[in-house]
Chains A and B, each alone.
Chain A
Amino acid sequence: MTSNVVSFLAAAIVAGTPLLFATIGEIITEKVGNLNLGVEGMMLMGAVAGFYVGLKTGNPLLALLAAMACGAVGALIFAVLTVSLRANQVVTGLTLTIFGTGFAGFMGQSLVGEIAPETIKTFFQPVTLPLLGQIPLLGEIFFQQDLFVYFGYLTAVLMGIYLYKTRFGLNLRAIGENPAAADAASVNITLYKYVHILLGGALCGLGGAYLSLVYVPAWAENITAGRGWIAVALVIFAAWNPFKAIVGSYLFGGLDIIGFRIQGTGFAVSQYFLDMLPYLVTMLVLIVVSMKKSQEKAPPKALSVPYFREER
C-alpha cells in the first residue's frame, strides 16, 4: 500500500512538471503586468521545436534550447503586440494559442508517431540524488527523479528569490502594480516587460518540451491537451507566488494521473469523468480564490492594462 502511494506521488511530480514550468512562466509574465493567455500555444511551440531538434540531433541540451527559443518567439509576438503596439492582451493571447496550436500541428505533421531518440531517453533517466535520495519516503518521491524535474525545483526556487529578494524583482513587481510609479522611479518599463514576457515564454516552451521529450516521449497531435489553461488557473491558485506554484502544480499533476491509478484498482469510475476532474477542480479553485478578497493575494493591479506615459 505504502509503495503504491509513494509511486503515485512520484508520478504526480512527473505529471506536474510541465505545469510547473508553464505556471512559473506565466507568473513572471503577469507580475510584470501582462496577461498572456497564449500559454497553451507557447507550450505546443516549445514541444514541437524541442522534439524536432531532439530527433534530428539526438542532443538533449540543443533540444531544450530550441524549445526555449521557440516559446520565446511566441512570447515575442505577444510582447510586440501588447507592449509596443498596446493591443488588447486577452485577444492577443488567445490568438497566440490558436497560432501555436496550428504551428505545432503543421510542423509536427511528419513527426506523428516518431519516438524520442535513445540518447535523450537515457539522458532523462531518473537519477537518485546522493543523500537526499536515501531519505525514506520523501527521497523516493522527490529525489529519485529525472534531471528535468530537478531543474523544475531549481527554476521555481530561483524565480521566487529573484522576485522577492532582488532589485530586479522589486522593479518588475512595481511595474505590474503601478507602472506610473515605476516610471517615475526611472525603471525602464518597456525593457522589463520584454525581458520577462520572453522569459515567461521560454519557460512555457520548456514545459511543452518536457511532455514531448520525457513524459510521453513521442510526438502526438495536441500533446499539451489543455495543460496551458490549467497553468493559467494555477497562477491564480498560487496567488502569483512561485513557491506556492510548486504545490499547485504537483497537486494538479496528481489529478491528471489519478484516472489511470483508479482504473488499476478495478474501481468503476467513468474515464470521461476522470478526464474532466482537473478542469472541474480548476473551476472550484477559481471560485474559492475569488471569494477570498485580500490585498496581498490580489492580482497585480495593472494586470492587462497597457501603459502610456503621457496619459493622465
Chain B
Amino acid sequence: MDVISMKGITKIFGSVVANKDIDFEVRFGEIHALLGENGAGKSTLVNMLSGIYTPDSGSIFIREKEVKLTSPRAAIDVGIGMIHQHYKLVEIMTALENIMLGQKGGGFLRANIIREKIEKLSQRFQLGVDLDKKVYEMSVGEKQTLEILKVLYRGANILILDEPTAVLTPQETEKLFQVMNRMKDEGCAVIFITHKMNEVLRISDRLTVLRKGQKVKTLETKSTNTKELAELMVGHPVNLAINRVETVKGKVLLEVKNLTCVNEEKVQVLKGLNFTIRGGEILGVAGIAGSGQKELCEAIAGLYPVKDGEIIFDEENIVGLTPRQIITKGISMSFVPEDRLGMGLVASMDIVDNMILKDYHKQKGFLINRKPAAEKAVKIVKQLDISTPSIHHPIKELSGGNIQKVLLGRELEAHPKLLITAYPVRGLDINVSYKIYDLINEEKKKGEAILFVGEDLDVLIELCDRIMVLCHGEITGIVEAAKTTKEELGLLMAGEKHQDMEGITRDQNS
C-alpha cells in the first residue's frame, strides 16, 4: 500500500519552477531514497510534505486520503516527521525540554510522565539519548538522534531525513543506518534525501531520481548501479574517476611545527600540530566538522592568533605576519563556510570589485583602476564557466555554486605557491565538483603545495597524496591516500590514534 502518494505536484518560486508535475509514491516499511543534484527540487518536494510549502497544483494523499498540509502541525497530525538538514533544536535546553517543546497538555511541565514515555520509545527504536544533557554539549550524531526521537515522540511514522549523513563520521552514519533499518522493521516509511550514491545503494529499497525539478524515474535499488544513477542525475554519461596526478615532489614548502592555538574561551583548538607539505603535493585534511580545520586554515593565513609553534613557509617563519604580508609571500586561502557566503567575498559587490578586494593595495595613487580586475573577471568567468548576466552583477544574486567558483577563481588567479582550500565543492553538483578537482590538479602540476580540507572521504582518498586527520584539534594520523581506507579514516576521525603515528610524523619532519 502506498502510504504517501503525491500526484502532479508543481511548485513555482517567482520565475523558477522548482517542481514540475511530479508523481511520487512511498510505501510503508520501505526506505525510499530521493536522489538528485543541487537545485533538482528534492528539498522543495519534501517541504511540501512537512507543511513548510504548499503546492501550487497537484494533490497529496496520505493513506489514500487527500490532505492539505498547510503547517508543520498539520503534517505531524498525519504522522509525517521531518529531520531538517539544520537541526531545529534549542541549544541552551536539555534533550527532554526540546522534546516537550510545543506539546499540548496542562500548564505546568510534567517531566516525569513524559520521561517515561520517551524512555519506552527510545528502547523500542534503540535510540540512546541522555535526556538531561544540554544540546550545546552534544555531538552532531547525538543531536541527530535527538531529532529523530523528537519526531517519533510526536507520533511520526513517516520520517523524512534531509541529507542526514552530510555531517556525520562513517561510524555515526553506520549507526544512523541501523536506526533507519529498525524503523523500517517497525513498519515506518523512511524518505532519505541525499546526493551520495554509495549510501543510496547500501540502505534504500527503492529510489526516485529528480533532475531540474522533474522526476526522471523511480526504480528498485537492487537493479541499479552508481554509473546508471549518476547518468540519471546529470542527464548524460559522466566519468566518476578522479585522477591522482603523479608529480615530482618538490622541496618542502610549508612546515608546521608544534602549532598551538587557543580560542576566546581559552580552550586549545589546535594542539601541537606537526606536518609538512611539499611542492606538487596535495595534503588532504579530514575530520568531523569543528575539529580545528577552520582554525588551521586561518592560522596559516594569519587570521587566527598563534599561541605557540612555528609555521615555516619557504624557509621563513610567517607567524606574526599580517594577512597581507602572507598573501604577498604567495599563500592563498579560499574557505567556503557552511553558509557559503560568510568568508572572502562581499555579497553585494560585483565580480570585478571582489577581484579588486585582494589586490587594490598593489595599485599606486588615490583612485582605483578597475581595468585589470575586469580583465581578470572576464577570464575567470570564461575559464570556470560561471553563469552570470555580466561581470558587473552583484554576486549575491548568483547561485551558490557560481559564487564558489568566483571565490576559488580569484584565489587561483593570484598564482599562489601554497593554496589552502576548504570545502571547495560544498553543496556543488557532480559536474562542477569534478571541474574543481581538475582545477586543483592543474595547480598541483604547476608545483604548488595544496592544503585541501574536505568532507567527502571518497574524494579525499582519490584526490590527495596524503591525508591528515584531525580530531578535537589534534592530529590523529597522517596516512598515504593510496594505502588507506574509509574505515581507517573514520576511526581516526573519531579520535583513535594511528599506530604508526609516531613513525609517520618523524618521517615527515626528517
Contact = CB atoms under 8 A, between A and B. Distances in A.
Interface of A: 165-168, 170-171, 173-174, 177-178, 180-187, 293, 295-296, 298, 301, 309-310
Nearest to A168: B107
B105 A174 contact: no
B71 interface: yes
A170 B111 CA distance: 12
Given A170-B97, A171-B102, A177-B90, A184 B109 contact: no
Contacts of B89: 178, 181
A310 B102 contact: no
A170 B108 contact: no
A167 B105 CA distance: 8
B98 interface: yes
A181 B101 CA distance: 9
A165 B101 contact: no
B264 A170 contact: no
Given A177-B93, A296-B92, A310-B52, A184 B107 contact: no
B91 A174 contact: no
A25 to B, nearest CB: 21
Contacts of A298: 92
Contacts of B392: none
Interface string B83-125: 0101111111100011011110111110000000000000000
B360 interface: no
A184 B84 contact: yes
B107 A186 contact: no
B108 A184 contact: no
B90 A183 contact: no
A178 B91 contact: yes
Top 5 nearest A-B pairs (CB, nearest first) are A185-B102, A186-B73, A181-B88, A184-B88, A185-B101
Interface string B418-444: 000000000000000000000000000
Given A165-B109, A167-B108, A182 B52 contact: no
B470 interface: no
B72 interface: yes
14 contacts: A165-B109, A166-B107, A167-B108, A168-B107, A170-B101, A178-B89, A180-B86, A182-B101, A184-B82, A184-B88, A185-B150, A186-B72, A187-B101, A295-B134
B115 to A, nearest CB: 15
A293 B265 contact: yes
Contacts of A187: 101-102
A301 B52 contact: no
B109 A171 contact: no
Contacts, number: 77
Nearest to A180: B88
B88 to A, nearest CB: 4
Given A174-B93, A178-B89, A310-B52, A183 B72 contact: yes
Contact of A170 (B53, B100, B134): B100
Interface residues on B, range: 20 to 34
A187 B73 CA distance: 9
A299 B442 CA distance: 48
B88 A178 contact: yes
A206 B282 CA distance: 67
Contacts of B134: 295
Contacts of A173: 90, 93
Contact of B71 (A171, A186, A310): A186
A298 B92 CA distance: 10
A298 B72 CA distance: 29
Nearest to A187: B102
Nearest to B136: A295
A197 B53 CA distance: 29
Contacts of B72: 183-186
B80 interface: no
Interface string B29-72: 00000000000000000000000110000000000000000011
B254 interface: no
B102 A177 contact: no
Contacts of A177: 90-93
A24 B84 CA distance: 35
B283 interface: no
B102 A301 contact: no
Given A166-B107, A309-B52, A171 B101 contact: yes
Given A173-B93, A186-B76, A310-B52, A181 B98 contact: yes
Contacts of A183: 72, 88
A298 B265 CA distance: 14
Central interface residue in A168, A174, A298, A310, by most chain B CB within 10 Å: A174
A183 B88 CA distance: 9
A183 B73 CA distance: 9
B259 to A, nearest CB: 25
Central interface residue in A178, A184, A298, by most chain B CB within 10 Å: A184
Contacts of B82: 184
Given A181-B101, A293-B265, A165 B108 contact: yes
Contacts of A301: 91-92
B34 to A, nearest CB: 18
Given A295-B136, A309-B52, A182 B92 contact: no
B69 to A, nearest CB: 12
Interface string B322-365: 00000000000000000000000000000000000000000000
Given A166-B107, A181-B90, 12 more contacts: A165-B109, A167-B109, A170-B93, A170-B97, A170-B109, A171-B101, A177-B92, A178-B89, A181-B89, A182-B101, A185-B150, A310-B52
A192 to B, nearest CB: 10
Contacts of B265: 293
Contact of B100 (A167, A184, A293, A296): A167
A311 to B, nearest CB: 11
Nearest to B76: A186
Contacts of B136: 295
A95 B123 CA distance: 55
A178 B102 CA distance: 13
